[in-house]
């Protein structure tokens, strides 16, 4: 959705800062060292707050008519625009589930991730091994330009008593 809400910019000369608040959106405020920076930060703050409200099913308030905003000394009002759908598209997180082969051992589990050559982990319990494997995959893939596709679990040959756990990776 696209929105426009009034924002009040207050210049604090002693601090050299422009404070921004949105009278219609509780707890939505930010600041910047210049008008341009304050406007950019205001758009970010407003968009994030509106996304959260939409996600939580909170009914968004009607924007106050900008002509009805009371202003004090060193204050000015302007409309700030927010595009929550655009924000979500630009910041979409892609979740991939990688099959990880768990090898039961005397002292816990060793884990290999066949799709990620050299990606291994371990844990004393299955739950700990899952946590460690999530971290191992993240460390392996973070910074990679291309994230490899995940294999289908049924295409992986297992030896008894090995088993597969699908481990999530969230990346762009």
Q: What is the pLDDT of residues 75-108, one digit of tens each?
A: 999 999 999 999 988 877 678 899 999 999 999 9
Kindly state the average pLDDT of the residues 132-147: 89
* pLDDT at res. 95: 80
Fold classified for 2-90: Double Stranded RNA Binding Domain (3.30.160)
84 burial level (CB within 10 Å; 0-12, 13-18, 19+): buried
Q: What is the pLDDT of residue 172?
A: 56
Would the CATH topology of 2-90 be identical to that of 94-171?
Answer: yes
Put simply, whether the predicted model's pTM sits higher than 0.85 gets the answer no
pLDDT(4) > 90: yes
Express as a percent the part of the chain with pLDDT over 90.
Answer: 83
Mean pLDDT computed over 11-28: 94
Fold of 94-171: Double Stranded RNA Binding Domain (3.30.160)
Average pLDDT of 2-21? Answer: 95
Give the torsion through C-alpha atoms of 129, 96, 114, 167, to 10 deg: 10
Any alpha helices (H) in the chain, and if so which ranges?
35-55, 84-90, 126-141
Residue 92 confidence (pLDDT)? 73
The pLDDT of residue 73 is above 70: yes
């Amino acid at each position: 959705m696209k929105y426009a809400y009034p924002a009040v910019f207050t210049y604090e000369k002693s601090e050299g800062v422009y404070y921004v608040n949105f009278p219609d959106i509780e707890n939505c405020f930010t600041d910047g060292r210049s008008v341009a920076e304050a406007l950019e930060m205001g758009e970010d703050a407003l968009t994030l707050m509106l996304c959260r409200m939409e996600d939580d099913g909170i009914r968004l308030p009607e924007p106050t008519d900008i002509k009805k905003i009371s202003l004090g000394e060193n204050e000015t009002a302007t409309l700030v625009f927010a595009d929550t759908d655009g924000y979500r598209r630009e910041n979409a997180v892609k979740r991939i589930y990688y099959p990880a082969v768990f090898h039961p051992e005397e002292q816990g589990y060793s884990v290999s991730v066949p799709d990620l050559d050299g990606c291994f982990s371990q844990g004393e319990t299955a739950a700990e091994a899952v946590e460690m494997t999530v971290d191992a995959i993240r460390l392996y893939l973070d910074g990679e330009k291309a994230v490899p596709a995940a294999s289908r679990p049924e295409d992986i040959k297992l030896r008894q008593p090995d088993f597969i756990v699908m481990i999530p990776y969230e990346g762009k």
